[in-house]
Amino acid sequence: MFMNFKLTLLVVLGIVFSNTTIVYSQNTTKVVITDVNNDVLKAKMENNASEFLTTLNTSFLNKSTPAINSKIIISDVSASLLSMWEMSPFRCYEADVIEKAIKRPQGGYEVRNIPVFMQEAAEDDQYQEIVLLFTDSGLIDNIYISMETNRYNQLISQGTDVTEFRRRQIILDFVENFKTAYNRKDISYLQSVFSEDALIITGKVVQVKSPDASSNLMNSAMVTYQKQTKAEYLNKLKSIFKNNSYINVKFDDIEIKRHKKYPDMYGVNMMQGWNTTNYSDVGYLLLVIDFADDDKPLIHVRTWQPEKVGSRTLSEDEKFKLENFNLNK
């Protein structure tokens, strides 16, 4: 009897110790970064990323606000991070992350494919990936939610020369940051990326009743379009941000097209998934972006169309494209 009790006690202690070890290991994330030629810079980036993610993990488990060491991150990023955290606390669920650093055209590096768990996201969307951006000196320069890795690599590889390859990096960087701005309710950033005369068009499905009351035809659906100014659009966004505790915007099926006449103008078509506390939808988004200044891209056109009109999926001919707009520079 005594031996059985001793054995049971040891088993229980073993389970407790095992669980304690698991919790501790989950609390710490060690980052190893490859493809950085400078050993000192490589070590600094690894240490900063590891400390940053471990701090997030600890705050997530303790249900507290992360206090990021100001020596590893630029000040503006701390504010953006806290905005993201307010929307949804998140943590890296891997104990070890090994990823390559990608040199950015604008300077510095980015490290992609960092897996995180988003607490407030819908159940089928809680596992996502983030990108960490670094300055040339190894400080964390930005953080945003990334697109699916394979699609990112496909879009980058479609660049036909060095210049186009570089421009596609900038475009995808911009698109990911633009998407994350909605998730962190960053009106200031959105204000800065829309040109003052931006054309903003939003489609809405309406039901059209048959004029003949005796008709056996089903009521049909059609799309009506509303044009907004930049100020009108941003004011509406402010209201949406205020009335929803959680916002998650996703971009899929991204396609990039360069304007034939104006080489700095690009059309970016994508499928947008919009999920908030009170509303969700799926539709086709077009951004016409001017990259004349790589450091300050400007959106001249934003259109959104519903994926379906009644039971019918919008046809390719009905979707807005870059060539549908007359651009003057």
Our measurement of the distance from residue 92's CA atom to the centroid of its chain's CA atoms, rounded to an integer in Å, reads 16
272-304 residue pLDDT tens: 999 888 888 999 999 999 998 888 999 999 999
pTM: 0.81
Helix (H, G, I), strand (E, B) or coil at 176: helix
223-252 residue pLDDT tens: 788 999 999 999 999 999 999 988 889 999
The predicted pLDDT at position 231 comes to 96
Residue 9: pLDDT over 50: no
The predicted pLDDT at position 308 comes to 87
Do residues 156 and 169 make contact, with C-beta atoms less than 8 angstroms apart? Answer: yes
Residue 178: pLDDT over 70: yes
14-65 residue pLDDT tens: 444 344 333 334 689 999 999 999 999 999 999 999 999 999 999 999 999 9
> How many angstroms separate the CA atoms of 306 and 223, rounded?
8
> How many angstroms separate the CA atoms of 310 and 289, rounded?
31
Average pLDDT of every residue of the chain: 86
Residue 240 phi, psi dihedral angles, 5° rounding: -65, -45
**For residues 207 and 245, which has the higher predicted lDDT (pLDDT)?**
245
> How many angstroms separate the CA atoms of 33 and 141, rounded?
16
The predicted pLDDT at position 213 comes to 52
Domains of the chain, start order: 27-146 (3.10.450), 186-324 (3.10.450.50)
100-139 residue pLDDT tens: 999 998 899 999 999 999 998 878 888 999 999 999 999 9
**For residues 12 and 151, which has the higher predicted lDDT (pLDDT)?**
151
Our measurement of the distance from residue 175's CA atom to the centroid of its chain's CA atoms, rounded to an integer in Å, reads 8
Q: For residue 101, which amino acid is it? A: A
The predicted pLDDT at position 212 comes to 55
The predicted pLDDT at position 17 comes to 38
